[in-house]
Amino acid sequence: MSGTAIIAGHGGLPARLVAALAERGEPCLVAELEGFPADFTGVAPIRFRLERLALLLDDLAARGVTRVAFAGAIRRPRLDPEMFDPKTATLVPRLLAAIGQGDDRALREVIAIFEDWGFEVVGAETLAPDLVPGPGLLAGAPGEADRRDAGRAAEIVAGLDAFDLGQGAVVAQGLCLAVETLPGTDAMLDFVARHAPGLRPDPKGAKGVFYKAPKPGQDRRIDLPTLGPSTVRAAAGAGLAGIAWEASGVILLDRAAMVDAAAAAGLFLWARER
């Protein structure tokens, strides 16, 4: 019997949540969407397909699960119409209608379905508060130009909400060099690494800031932005001055390693108040 289930996708976050619960002596189940393996060792997850979502929900309830957290990245899987069980088939119109309105709406509908089964859906910060830092500097210090660039990037990310795009942007010297879209953060920072030198008006001016934040209208129990040591290395490779994010709105997968990587690269890390 377990009161908590982690619905796991790619990346290290699911394992972090399992570890945080284990430290408090709270067992949990892990349900992994087939085709999107999470980074686990010593854990045997339940694997499921969306075409049989209702069966998973019934199984979790039968195992005593009352609380569910979504963790990790997934992309829309291909659905096989022949694999739908009758109960899940009744959910298809809801899911398809939501998917047609964008990823954020689809995620909200998934939450609603889990709640219809009586589960409490919680965010990662509920299970592991230390992963979501409040305001303050973790490494280095942004200059005045960096602070202006971070403010401009925050405005841009807020504007992306209307288009259901990504959760990040890079701004240098007041100019937007890139915004995050479906390919994700790594692809955006790779683009900046390859093109930023020719985009900055003043080669000796501010290097630029990568800013990350939740979409203003998103449900923060799911798809909260995540940063990790690899993000720091990618930002350094892109020649940026630092990384800023919305305080209490972004998950840090390994804070200590991020701070070490930032110090080695000379980058600042800033949890910025809205």
> Which has the closest alpha carbon to 250: 124, 121, 75?
124
Would the pTM of this model clear 0.95, i.e. be above it? no
More confident: 156 or 93:
156
Contacts of 77 (CB under 8 A, 6+ apart): 33, 34, 35, 36, 49, 50
Long-range contacts of 255-260 (CB under 8 A, 24+ apart): 255/130, 255/131, 255/133, 255/138, 257/228, 257/229, 258/138, 258/139, 258/227, 258/228, 258/229, 258/231, 258/232, 259/138, 259/139, 260/229
Confidence (pLDDT) at 173: 95
Reported as a single tens digit per residue, the pLDDT across 259-274 is 999 999 999 999 999 8
Confidence (pLDDT) at 197: 78
Confidence (pLDDT) at 143: 97
Mean pLDDT (the chain) is 89
Confidence (pLDDT) at 268: 98
CB 170 within 8 A of CB 189: yes
Q: What is the mean pLDDT of residues 205-210?
A: 95
Reported as a single tens digit per residue, the pLDDT across 240-262 is 999 999 999 999 989 999 999 99
Tokens linked to 102: 């964008």
Confidence (pLDDT) at 9: 82
CATH topology classification for 4-127: Rossmann fold (3.40.50)
Residue 178: pLDDT over 80:
yes
Reported as a single tens digit per residue, the pLDDT across 13-72 is 898 899 899 888 888 899 988 877 766 666 778 889 888 999 999 999 999 999 999 988
Show me where the domains of the chain are located.
4-127, 132-272
Of the candidate CATH numbers 3.40.120.10, 1.20.1440.60, 3.40.140.80, 3.40.462.10, the domain formed by 132-272 belongs to 3.40.140.80
Estimate the share of the chain in helix, then strand, then coil, as percent rounded to the nearest 5: 40, 20, 40
